[in-house]
């Protein structure tokens, strides 16, 4: 595998906001002109921008998935930036690199209930990055991500 | 002007993290493999991803530009999502729309010291969006943004 798979050189595939009231936030962004993707459901809202996915996820659900409590002072997780990688093995490689570079591993590669595999690290300020391999997304030649495999 | 200019349908042009120590954060992301753009300087670090810009900006500077104090409980500004628009008049239109939709205008369209024009609104959770017109960036046909005019 080439070295680019162990860097963050690619796009931010997903920006996920942890929201207090999913219905309220969904209504706001739909009113603002974003179009929900068909894979949205009652637990999460997905919007496909040009080559990037934007998601609204209840903040407690996001914090739970990251492995932190939304209520811990200074440890709340309100946003996650994700890089989708083409191979599952890239997750371990990127997490290891983040640790060497001064980041903190929040969750080793493991499988969430919705499929795929993901791990999390925090940068020096505590900003949360998810490294994800997801067979339900497609990564195009420019490194941009699309929901669905076609 | 067509209606799409008064929506958030386009890409997130910029993701800006408000960081505690710019040198530390810059070193981290460079070590992670991101390549700094030539327009970076001692006040801000820019990285060009595929069609999206990623910036590191001291959290106090970011809060000041938004018009909030980084220290106000629950009002701290740690991240800003920006949509770059093709026309200056689009800023007022989008801010007005955000207000109608239940958002809060944080700063009306005005000129920051580094050029261009920008305004800010908060979504229902307080997530900060900047709407910016910047003659130093180019927006391609897909709505993706690039630093520089060529």
Tell me the C-alpha distance between B52 and B46, whole Å.
10
Instruction: Provide the pLDDT confidence category of residue B26 given band limits of 50, 70 and 90.
Output: very high
The answer, yes or no, to whether ipTM is higher than 0.85 is no
Neighbours of B2 (CB within 10 A): 6
Q: Which residues of B touch A11 (CB under 8 A)?
A: 49-52
Closest CA to B37 of B125, B146, B119, B149: B146
User: Which CATH architecture best describes the domain A3-147?
Assistant: Roll (3.10)
**Structure tokens, B18:** 């408000």
The answer to whether A102 contacts B24, with C-beta atoms less than 8 Å apart, is: yes
Q: What's the gap in Å between the CA of A124 and the closest CA on chain B? A: 7
| 3-class secondary-structure state, position A80 | strand
Which pLDDT belongs to residue B4? 44
User: Which CATH architecture best describes the domain B18-147?
Assistant: Roll (3.10)
Instruction: Provide the pLDDT confidence category of residue A118 given band limits of 50, 70 and 90.
Output: very high
Taking only the tens place, the pLDDT of each residue in B94-134 is 899 899 988 999 999 999 988 899 999 988 888 889 999 98
Domain ranges of chain B: 18-147
Q: Which residues of A touch B11 (CB under 8 A)?
A: 49-52
Neighbours of B27 (CB within 10 A): 15
pLDDT > 90: what percent of chain B?
Answer: 31
Best mutation target, A13, A33, A83, A146, to test chain B (most B CBs within 10 A): A33
Best mutation target, A1, A29, A49, to test chain B (most B CBs within 10 A): A49
Residue A105 confidence (pLDDT) above 80: yes
Closest CA to A8 of A114, A139, A129: A129
């Amino acid at each position: 595998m080439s070295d680019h798979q162990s860097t963050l050189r690619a796009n931010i595939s997903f920006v996920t906001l942890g929201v207090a009231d999913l219905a309220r936030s969904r209504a706001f962004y739909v009113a603002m002109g974003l179009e929900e993707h068909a894979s949205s459901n009652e637990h999460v809202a997905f919007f496909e921008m040009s080559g990037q996915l934007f998601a609204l996820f209840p903040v407690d659900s996001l914090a739970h998935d990251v492995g932190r409590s939304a209520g811990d002072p200074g440890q709340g997780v309100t946003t996650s930036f994700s890089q989708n990688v083409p191979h599952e093995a890239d997750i371990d490689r990127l997490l290891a690199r983040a640790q060497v570079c001064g980041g903190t591993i929040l969750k080793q590669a493991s499988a969430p209930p919705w499929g795929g595999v993901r791990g999390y690290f925090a940068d020096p300020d505590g900003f949360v990055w998810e490294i994800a391999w997801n067979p339900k997304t497609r990564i195009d030649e420019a490194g941009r991500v699309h929901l669905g495999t076609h």
